[in-house]
Amino acid sequence: MSEAFQITEAERKSNIDSLQAEINRMAEMVFSVSRDTGLEAVNAALALAAEGQKDTPDKVRAVAFDVLARAEIMQSEIDRFMTIARNTPLGDTH
């Protein structure tokens, strides 16, 4: 490997620490969004069920599709993040 691309052990450790911090931040965000989305969906479904209208099953289904759409967006963000994380050079100490 070229001298221009070599980094020190301290820089390598800093890169690893930064990446770990970003992974932890992403995990916390995913947990928070998942929890909030689940609570919103349950509250919406319970409110709809309490109305007792004939179209309640359709409304609950719409809420479920909304939750699924949010999950797909979050998965897309996670996939994008993981692509970046996998391709982040951590350095060569040789």
**What ranges do the domains of the chain cover?**
32-88
How much is the pLDDT for 93?
Answer: 44
d(CA 64, CA 47): 14
Are the C-beta atoms of residues 3 and 82 closer than 8 Å to each other? no
Model confidence pLDDT, tens digit, residues 27-84: 888 888 888 888 888 888 888 888 888 888 888 888 888 888 888 888 888 788 778 7
For residues 3-9, give the mean pLDDT. Answer: 73
How much is the pLDDT for 90?
Answer: 55
Provide the whole-model pTM: 0.54
How much is the pLDDT for 3?
Answer: 57
Where would I find the beta strands (DSSP E) of 5-92? none
Return the number of other C-beta atoms located less than 10 Å from residue 48's C-beta: 19
